[in-house]
Chain A
Amino acid sequence: MATPTMDKVAADDAAAASHLITVTFRIRRFNPEVSAEATWEDFQLEIDPKERVLDGLHKIKWELDGSLTFRRSCAHGICGSDAMRINGKNRLACKTLIKDINPAKPITVEPIKGLTVLKDLVVDMEPFFQAYRDVMPFLVTTGNEPTRERLQSAEDRERFDDTTKCILCAACTSSCPVFWNDGQYFGPAAIVNAHRFIFDSRDEAGEQRLEILNDKDGVWRCRTTFNCTDACPRGIEVTKAIQEVKRALITRRY
């Protein structure tokens, strides 16, 4: 029996349903307990195009296949957990809207490259963090601790502002063809985080960090491909930061 109220509800439902679209997620699956081979698996879902790839992955994990494995924590582009290769480009699943990546075609989702895949979209981040630790990403000073905070002019702060934005998601490092080879190159993320301290007027270990990055797997392996700058979800000018470290190595010493 069609009362006016029910009509309205039905109409609302129809309106709500109409903006959903059918999208195919083509996901690179790998489970070492099942097979040594990674395979593509397709999932079809109804989703609002204004939702994010991460929402699609959640829908799959929660409603279609609970074994799908991926990392995410904050879901808002802050923690850097969910970098993955979406349609062939490194992005954060939580910052990529479905409507922005051509949902008419299957959306491919793969783990980031150059790091060992542990399961599905989860990779072993240890080599990445090892390179990060190697550049000593902490303030180093000498002398007595000041009783107040360490002051710095606005210009001095501005000098390294760009590289403070890194969330260590590994999108840049795992987009770098030099890193793909043997994983020994420090990689853009470690250099960005060294840059953050090298150009900080309060820090006193710049020379040490420069020497570390003068290593044979340091900044000189950079081929200036700009993949890292393209990949950074925070819009950091990664390649520029690497070149500034190279320039500092040459001009500060000679």
Chain B
Amino acid sequence: MSDTTLEKSGVGPVEGASLYDADNPAPVIEAPRKRTAKTPRSTRGNFEMAAWLFMRLSGVVLVVLVITHLLIQLVLDGGVSKIGFAFVAGRWASPFWQVWDLLMLWLAMLHGANGLRTVINDYAERPNTRLWLKGLLYTATVFTILLGTLVIFTFDPNIR
């Protein structure tokens, strides 16, 4: 790119038509919380803080719930081979394990859903992609929580 213009002006030669000029500047990343009549919108309320705290608190509780669950289901007393309809029916006969599983269901689902919400926030670049991914996430979460809760409460060990 050695050209006489270089010495004179310190500006390199321009090839082809310019894409942008003073009236049509290149797009830049929008400054956050830009001052306009409508922005920044107030985002008060502590939802993000609550979500952050919930991740940590539910995580601690999940360690106990999940590890015990895995031990009982997969390790102790013959491992996976013992699992069958009768085994599940036996455990759900006790309200203690019903509440245990219900708590595990709700905490894991809300924890996992909120985790995926942050992943979507962090990675989905277009607002539309975000909207659809989150819509899918929330639908699946609500469906799974409701179905799981229904099953735990209406489980019939004598079903044929």
Contact B14 A127, beta carbon cutoff 8 Å: no
B68 at the interface (CB under 8 A from A): no
- B48 contacts across to A, CB distance below 8 A: 214-216, 218, 220-221
Query: Of residues B15, B29, B118, which shows the largest number of chain A Cβ atoms within 10 Å of its Cβ?
Result: B29
Query: Smallest CB–CB gap between A223 and chain B, Å?
Result: 7
Residues of chain B with a CB closer than 8 A to A66's CB: 6, 10, 12
B30 to A214, Cβ gap below 8 A? Answer: no
Interface string of A86-128 (1 = CB under 8 A from B): 0000000000000000000000000000111010000010110
Scoring B34, B49, B123, B125 by chain A CB atoms within 10 A of each residue's CB, the highest score goes to B49
Known contacts A33-B20, A127-B32, A183-B30; A214/B49 CB under 8 A: yes
| Alpha-carbon distance A31/B19, docked complex (angstroms) | 10
Residue ID in chain A nearest B25 by CB atoms = A32
> Majority SS of interface residues in chain B?
loop
Contact between B12 and A183, CB atoms less than 8 A apart = no
User: Nearest residue in A to B28 (C-beta to C-beta)?
Assistant: A116
Q: Does B46 contact A (CB under 8 A)?
A: yes
- Residue-wise interface mask of B (104-131) relative to A, using a CB-CB cutoff of 8 A (1 in contact, 0 not): 0000000000000010011111000000
Contact A127 B53 (CB under 8 A): no
In the complex, the answer to whether A220 meets B51 with C-beta atoms within 8 Å is yes
Query: Given known contacts A33-B20, A67-B1, is B15 in contact with A127 (CB within 8 Å)?
Result: no
Q: Kindly state whether residue A28 has any CB partner on chain B within 8 Å.
A: no
Cβ of B36 < 8 Å from any Cβ of A? no
The DSSP consensus for interface residues of chain A is loop
State in angstroms the CA–CA spacing of A177 and B122 once bound together. 8
C-beta contact mask, A165-190 vs B, less than 8 Å → 1, else 0? 00000000000011001111110000
Q: A115 contacts which chain B residues (CB < 8 A)?
A: 29
Q: A126-B31, A223-B122 are in contact. Are A34 and B26 (CB under 8 A)?
A: no
B residues engaging A (CB < 8 A)?
1, 6, 10-12, 14-16, 18-20, 26-34, 43-44, 46-49, 51-53, 118, 121-125
Closest 9 CB pairs of A and B: A67-B12, A220-B48, A116-B28, A130-B31, A216-B43, A127-B31, A183-B29, A184-B32, A220-B52
Q: A183-B30, A216-B48 are in contact. List 17 more A-B contacts (CB 8 A).
A: A31-B12, A32-B19, A34-B16, A66-B10, A67-B1, A116-B29, A118-B26, A130-B31, A134-B32, A181-B122, A182-B125, A184-B33, A186-B32, A211-B44, A217-B32, A221-B122, A250-B49
12 contacting pairs across A/B (C-beta < 8 A): A32-B26, A33-B19, A67-B6, A67-B11, A126-B31, A127-B30, A181-B123, A215-B48, A216-B43, A217-B33, A221-B118, A246-B52
